[in-house]
């Protein structure tokens, strides 16, 4: 479709014949229904999904109700492991009775009301991690400064990575984001080798590190791989139906 | 004899997953500081897990792969007796610590790192706010723990290094400034730690933009700009004057 038809009136176009040009109807607007798309992709916080076990589902149902109650009073934003958050908590020993901590979320653990997330930051060359409980009444506000996803669920390797990957300015401004599922392409570079865990081993299944180890070491690490694990049927935990049920509840 | 050993393994794993690391232990595995005792290998296996610095991650792994950990343990059980000491976390005897204040004793390089030689505690394990004895540069010095690598209760910060502030016997800090952040839980014991808290520049979560210096001995009467952290009890305690640069 040429743009001429949109912006100029047909009467003004000079055609070779001298007759008025054929009426071209304006192009039909394409309706993109964003609402339905959004609902399909609505974020369900991982602590709503009950863990695999033999406990009575009633317990999880009651917990979920309490969680929803809490969320009505206090908004818990959507965030993933790898996003930068700022949390203000109430503290009796602080001057203003509240304190604020900014950090990158390295892990989200726990299910139900005991759901926690660990924020990491490097302050004054000292790495600090704080584990917060999502539904604790001491938390006054959670802001997402930068919504980001990473390739792994657990960023514990940031402890052995260069400190620049864990430093975040305390007075950082929130970064606005349109499509929130961008995964950063840059991989994390690590400090020299003695690490707290051997992250190169396939047990941890880390995709977010740029390993600068020699080839033979990477191959040696593959010795510990257990390729049968992904086909083990007893370990399967299919959460899609559970998620669908929970979404209906919510 | 495999079934009972599997049972004990299960018990210990459950104990681990309940977060009761320091307190809930297999009755056989109780010890006083420094004592050694015997326990069987599956306990060794499970206790080995606790030696991992990042216990939280291990917890998450255990919680997620509950079945896996059990099979792993039961397959690795051998009937042999080992003698080990109880797995203690945080700071105990012979841990290397990092001195965080700006005292000369703490900052001059020496071929051996400062090590803890005694913890002034009923258990031999030192957490934030405990006093310990350090061996630095061939001397013995008391110190206060201000942060350790072991994860503590939720909402408390966990540092990437074991931090310590040098202290005299009466509780006066030797250095004049502490740059690294300090957990707020120390505030609760303000009577003991008022002087240490005074020299701390960064409290956890509350980072002052400016620098503070203390004139402890001189007692000069300079006009001081009140920091948010000052309470009247302090000034009476030490007569310290703070000035912001």
Q: Which of A53, A109, A128 sits opposite B181 (nearest CB)?
A: A128
Closest residue in B to A155 (Cα) is: B57
Q: Which two tokens stand for residue B17?
A: 């997953």
Q: How far apart are CA A68 and CA A134, in angstroms?
A: 12
pTM of the entire predicted model? 0.64
- Residue A15: count other Cβ atoms within 10 Å of its Cβ: 10
pLDDT digits (tens, 9 = 90+) for B122-177: 998 999 888 999 999 999 999 999 889 998 888 889 999 999 999 888 888 888 88
**B163 to chain A: which residues are within 8 Å by CB?**
126
**B205/A109 Cβ within 8 A:** no
Q: How far is B88 from chain A (nearest CA, A)?
A: 18
How far off is chain A from B138, nearest CA to CA, in Å?
27
Contact B229 A101 (CB under 8 A): no
Q: Give pLDDT tens digits for A196-213.
A: 888 888 888 888 888 888
Which residue in B has a C-alpha nearest to residue A138's C-alpha? Answer: B155
ipTM greater than 0.90: no
Q: Pairing between strand B241-244 and B212-215?
A: antiparallel
Residue B102 three-state SS: coil
Q: How far is CA A212 from the centre of its chain?
A: 27
Q: What Cα–Cα distance (Å) separates residue B75 from each residue in A75, A231, B100?
A: 46, 20, 45
Determine the average pLDDT of the residues in B30-50. 43
CATH of domain A39-249: 2.30.30.790
Residue in the structure block whose two tokens are 């326990």 = B39
The Cα–Cα gap between A21 and A67 comes to 65
CB pairs under 8 A between A and B: 97
Judged against a pLDDT cut of 70, whether residue A34 lies above it is answered with no
* Calpha distance A58→A179 (Å, rounded): 36
- The residue written with tokens 């051996």 in the block is B112
pLDDT, mean of residues B239-244: 39
Q: Do B57 and A129 touch (CB under 8 A)?
A: no
Structural domains of chain B, ranges and CATH numbers in brackets: 95-218 (2.40.150.20)
For chain B, positions 6-25, list CB contacts with chain A under 8 A.
none
Q: Does A175 touch chain B (CB under 8 A)?
A: no
Q: Domain coordinates of chain A in residue numbers?
A: 39-249
Backbone phi, psi, residue A140, to 5°: -100, -35
């Amino acid at each position: 479709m040429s743009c001429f038809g949109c912006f100029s009136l047909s009467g003004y176009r000079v055609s070779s014949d001298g007759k008025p040009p054929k009426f071209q109807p304006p192009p039909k607007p394409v309706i993109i229904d964003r609402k339905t798309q959004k609902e399909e992709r609505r974020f369900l916080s991982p602590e709503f999904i009950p863990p695999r076990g033999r406990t009575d589902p009633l317990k999880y149902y009651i917990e979920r109700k309490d969680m929803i109650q809490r969320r009505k009073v206090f908004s818990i934003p959507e965030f993933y492991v790898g996003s930068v958050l700022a949390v203000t908590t109430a503290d009796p020993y602080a001057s203003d009775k509240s304190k604020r901590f900014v950090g990158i979320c390295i892990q989200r653990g726990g299910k139900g009301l005991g759901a926690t997330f660990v924020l990491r930051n490097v302050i004054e060359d000292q790495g600090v991690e704080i584990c917060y409980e999502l539904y604790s009444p001491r938390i006054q506000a959670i802001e997402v400064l930068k919504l980001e996803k990473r390739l792994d669920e657990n960023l514990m390797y940031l402890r052995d990575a260069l400190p620049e990957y864990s430093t975040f300015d305390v007075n950082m401004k929130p970064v606005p984001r349109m499509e929130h599922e961008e995964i950063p392409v840059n991989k994390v570079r690590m400090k020299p080798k003695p690490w707290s865990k051997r992250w190169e081993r396939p047990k941890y299944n880390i995709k977010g590190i740029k390993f600068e180890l020699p080839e033979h070491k990477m191959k040696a690490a593959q010795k510990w791989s257990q390729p049968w694990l992904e086909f083990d049927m007893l370990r399967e935990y299919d959460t899609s139906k559970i998620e669908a049920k929970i979404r209906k509840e919510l | 004899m495999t079934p009972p050993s599997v049972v004990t393994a299960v018990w210990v794993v459950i104990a681990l997953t309940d977060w009761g690391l320091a307190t809930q232990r297999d009755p056989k595995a109780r010890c006083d500081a420094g004592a050694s005792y015997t326990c069987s290998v599956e306990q060794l296996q499970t206790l080995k897990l606790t030696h991992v610095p990042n216990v939280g991650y291990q917890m998450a792994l255990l919680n997620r792969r509950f079945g896996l950990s059990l099979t792993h343990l039961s397959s690795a059980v051998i009937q042999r007796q080992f003698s080990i000491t109880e797995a203690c976390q945080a700071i105990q005897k012979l841990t290397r610590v990092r001195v965080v204040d700006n005292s000369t004793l703490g900052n001059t390089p020496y071929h051996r790192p400062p090590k803890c030689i005694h913890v002034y505690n009923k258990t031999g394990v030192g957490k934030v706010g405990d006093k310990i004895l350090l061996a630095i540069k061939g001397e013995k010095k008391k110190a206060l723990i201000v942060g350790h690598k072991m994860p503590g209760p939720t909402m408390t910060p966990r540092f990437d290094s074991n931090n310590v502030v040098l202290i005299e016997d009466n509780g006066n800090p030797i250095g004049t400034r502490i740059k690294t952040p300090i957990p707020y839980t120390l505030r609760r014991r303000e009577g003991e730690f008022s002087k240490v808290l005074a020299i701390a520049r960064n409290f956890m979560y509350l980072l002052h933009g400016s620098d503070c210096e203390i004139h402890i001995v001189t007692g000069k009467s300079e006009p001081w700009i009140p920091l948010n952290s000052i309470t009247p009890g302090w000034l009476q305690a030490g007569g310290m004057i703070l000035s912001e640069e």
